[in-house]
Amino acid sequence: MKKYEQSQLLKNLPEQFFASLVTKVNSYIEKGHDVINLGQGNPDQPTPSHIIKSLQVAAEQPTNHKYSPFRGYSHLKKAVSQFYKKEYDVDLDPESEVAILFGGKAGLVEIPVCLLNPGETVMVPDPGYPDYLSGIALAKAETVMMPLREENNFLPNYKEIEEHELEKAKLMFLNYPNNPTGAIATKEFFAETISLSKQHDICVVHDFAYGAIGFDQKKPLSFLQLEGAKDIGVEIYTLSKTFNMAGWRVAFAVGNSSVVSAINLYQDHLYVSLFGAIQEAAYTALTDSQNCVREMNELYERRRNVLIKGLNEIGWKVNAPEGSFFAWLKVPDGFTSQEFSDYLLETVHIAMAPGSGFGQFGEGYVRIGLLTEEDRLQEAIDRLKELPIFN
């Protein structure tokens, strides 16, 4: 069989970090080891039953067996705008300021292709979600990395960035609550970001994937809550985390109408639209009771407390995340991130994501997902306790 060579565009794509991590973990599971997988970012709870029932009913409707409107149903976009008004007191025009996405990742990868020309520059958090780089590679754009340091609460320090780099930048990615650090943003930081954007004409893309998950009675801020944010940027919100709908692939971009228009135009050429029954389920999720969201948040906070308390008690001194369903932990002295992750997987069969997979400034940390039952988290702590590095 003839083998066709891949295009240079595909060859230039970054390696899929999470795919290689899954392969390594699975190799230990296939050998019969009981691996406690804390390295994943996949919600472990089921989608709430009322959302599933909405899908079931909608799937039986013949109208949903046809092509749905290219840019999504109007009543879903209205539900998005009503959700933002209720949750964040943000006004959105449902037709011009809402784009329906095939999952948040799709929107994050599409935006550089929509807005950038080859050679233009994107400001990217380091450490950060690796797939930001995928869209940048597809757009043949360049990156300026923004270090997220613990001493600055894992917020970028814009004073570190050279003036000529700010002048070249066309796009900026931000993500709070943050993956992988669990940090949250402040009004002051977002206000500074808007001022910087206006000064240098930079479009801001705020990845709000973990917007529903905040701890210690702190509700995470939407970027669009800040005055002027909608003028200079968009926010990507996914139902994957808020409603445990990761496999359903439904999200939306909201904010600046010119960016929304560009996304819609691009998607017109890639897709028709989401399956109508999934749109109906998304409508139900956004408009029905949010008790399931509050219960999920409480679950993650209990897990966080078990994990952080247990780790500190065995001698691994770590800080608690303020949001997201991740904890970002300093590795013990004498290890790199990758070495420590490999050591844990080999010796006590616990999987953690090495911080180096999230960027240069992720070195020295590992990421843990709060996506395992409390008894398994406690078992992980008990296994770690037996290691000589914690004695």
Residue 172, helix vs strand vs coil: strand
Does the residue 3 lie in any domain?
A: no
Residues 249 and 186 in one domain: yes
Host domain of residue 86: 49-287
Are residues 231 and 298 part of one domain? no
- Tell whether 260 and 311 lie within a shared domain: no
The total number of structural domains in the chain stands at 2
pLDDT value at position 164? 93
* Domain-embedded: residue 2: no
Given this model, what pLDDT does residue 234 score?
A: 98
Long-range contacts of 128-134 (CB under 8 A, 24+ apart): 128/173, 128/175, 128/179, 128/180, 128/358, 128/359, 129/175, 129/179, 129/207, 129/358, 130/14, 130/16, 130/17, 130/18, 130/357, 130/358, 131/105, 132/108, 132/173, 132/207, 133/14, 134/13, 134/14, 134/109
pLDDT of residue 22: 84
Q: Is 330 exposed, middle or buried (0-12, 13-18, 19+ CB in 10 A)?
A: middle
Tell me whether residue 1 is in a domain: no
- Residue 276 and residue 295 share a domain: no
- Residue 200 near residue 169 (C-beta atoms within 8 A): yes
Q: What CATH code is carried by the domain that includes residue 169?
A: 3.40.640.10
Integer angstrom CA distances of residue 237 from 46, 211, 243, 343, 349: 19, 8, 12, 36, 34
Identify the CA nearest to 150 among candidates 334, 363, 337: 363
In a domain, 80, yes or no: yes
244 within 8 A of 47, measured Cβ to Cβ? yes
Residue segments in the chain with a per-residue pLDDT below the cut of 50: none
Last residue of a domain, one of 287, 305, 335: 287
Domain boundary among 287, 310, 343: 287
Strands 121-126 and 142-147, bridge-based pairing: parallel
pLDDT in the model for residue 355? 95
pLDDT at 158: 97
Q: Are strands 233-238 and 326-330 parallel, antiparallel or unpaired?
A: unpaired
Whether the CB-CB separation of 38 and 369 falls below 8 Å is answered with yes
Judgement on whether residues 102 and 185 belong to the same structural domain of the protein: yes
